């Protein structure tokens, strides 16, 4: 389809999805070393012939007989603002309900919301539709990336507290498409998965109060980038329409960033409860692996903050493996120090490094 034809039609493009079986500051962890004395160092933080009917009936679709949620998206691109682009999709209600019912682990590694493959056909249809529109305009790769990003950037921005009543609620891409809105994490998850489906190398960029994407360096890229595993990833905004590759919004410029790639790996979270006795503090810690790769060996380290990166009465569990989807509970007890100016610190440790951490309030509060 030639650009001239698109302009003549004023191009309200329809591309319904056909869905059947739907399917740098990089985190630096400091080695824990055991010091002599009563303190312990704290860790840092993929026309035809009509065929004969088959001899046997085909297998039923996983979503046969299901209800569908239909959504249509319309958006524009600044260089061709007289064209309204359109994409329609039918999403099985049961698929949306499945994603909506999943727990929301307390982790900053939002790549976990992109690792599931149940939405593959939907994401591939969206990705291929966006790419075909860009090709019809004869855009080069640099501008194609901006054209694709525009679809996500023009989604309505909505705060989690207003839509879910929660301070933090990560959405799976299917949820964002059905809800037709989300915050910066949700937009980054969706855009990241679309770009991954097209073969791009992207990472998530977590700033103190914002999330965006990083895309591997290529022709014409300039501006802000982050180095991760020796590769330059240029900033790509996932919300708003003004952001271009390498341009960081003024309010986030110069801020340090944590980088999360989409590689298969463990994604570890934990929570805990504690009970204070007369002389000891008992704590129960639950550790879970939300990733796709097993952790061969990890442990739980607890202690009371002693200042300057040290712990009072540090106690560490025996090491244990943690497989994808596995949850392990650990119970520890440690003496209470003779000071009120302290708080409890909890670390999940792997290979001498903290991979997840939390802390209590100060005991004086």
Closest Cα partner for 29 from 341, 268, 319? 268
Using a pLDDT cut of 70, give the percent of the chain over it: 82
**Greatest CA separation for the chain:** 88
Q: Who's near 212: CB < 8 A, 6+ residues apart?
A: 184, 188, 204, 205, 235, 236, 237, 238, 239, 243, 248
- Domains of the chain, each with CATH number or no CATH: 3-30+65-261 (3.10.620), 268-359 (2.60.40.10)
Q: How do residues 75-95 score in pLDDT, each as one tens digit? A: 999 889 899 999 999 999 999
Give the H or E element holding residue 274.
Answer: strand 268-276
CB 343 within 8 A of CB 296: no
The answer to whether residues 229 and 201 touch, using CB atoms and an 8 Å cutoff, is no
Alpha-carbon dihedral sign for residues 177, 183, 185, 187: positive
Convert the pLDDT of each residue in 283-323 to its tens digit: 999 999 999 999 999 999 999 999 888 999 999 999 999 99
pLDDT in tens, 159-212: 999 999 999 999 999 999 999 999 999 999 999 999 999 999 999 999 999 999
The two structure tokens encoding residue 257: 């960033």
Q: What is the pLDDT of residues 257-282, one digit of tens each?
A: 999 999 999 999 999 999 988 889 99
């Amino acid at each position: 389809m030639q650009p001239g034809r698109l302009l003549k039609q004023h191009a309200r493009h329809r591309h319904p999805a056909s869905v059947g079986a739907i399917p740098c500051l990089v985190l630096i962890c400091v080695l824990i070393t055991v010091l002599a004395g009563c303190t312990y160092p704290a860790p840092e933080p993929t026309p035809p012939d009509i065929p004969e009917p088959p001899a046997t009936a085909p297998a039923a679709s996983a979503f046969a007989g299901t209800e569908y949620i239909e959504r249509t998206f319309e958006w524009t691109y600044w260089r061709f603002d007289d064209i309204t682009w359109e994409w329609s999709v039918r999403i099985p209600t049961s698929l949306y309900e499945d994603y909506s019912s999943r727990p929301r682990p307390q982790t900053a590694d939002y790549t976990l919301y992109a690792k599931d493959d149940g939405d593959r056909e939907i994401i591939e249809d969206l990705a291929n539709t966006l790419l075909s529109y860009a090709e019809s305009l004869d855009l080069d790769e640099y501008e194609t990336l901006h054209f694709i990003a525009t679809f996500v950037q023009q989604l309505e921005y909505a705060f989690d507290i207003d839509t879910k009543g929660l301070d933090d609620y990560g959405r799976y891409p299917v949820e964002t498409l059905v809800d037709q809105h989300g915050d910066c994490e949700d937009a980054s998850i969706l855009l990241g998965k679309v770009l991954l489906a097209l073969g791009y190398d992207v990472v998530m960029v977590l700033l103190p109060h914002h999330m965006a994407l990083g895309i591997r360096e290529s022709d014409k890229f300039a501006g802000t980038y982050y180095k991760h595993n020796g590769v330059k990833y240029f900033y790509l905004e996932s919300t708003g329409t003004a952001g271009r590759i390498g341009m960081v919004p003024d309010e986030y410029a110069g801020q340090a960033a944590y980088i999360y790639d989409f590689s298969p790996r463990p994604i570890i979270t934990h929570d805990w409860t504690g009970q204070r006795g007369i002389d000891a503090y008992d704590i129960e810690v639950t550790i879970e692996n939300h990733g796709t790769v097993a952790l061969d060996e990890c442990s739980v380290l607890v202690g009371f903050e002693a200042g300057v990166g040290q712990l009072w009465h540090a106690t560490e569990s025996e090491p244990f493996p943690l497989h994808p989807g596995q949850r392990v509970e650990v119970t520890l007890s440690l003496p209470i120090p003779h000071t009120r100016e302290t708080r409890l610190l909890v670390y999940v440790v792997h290979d001498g490094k903290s991979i997840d951490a939390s802390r209590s309030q100060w005991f004086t509060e």
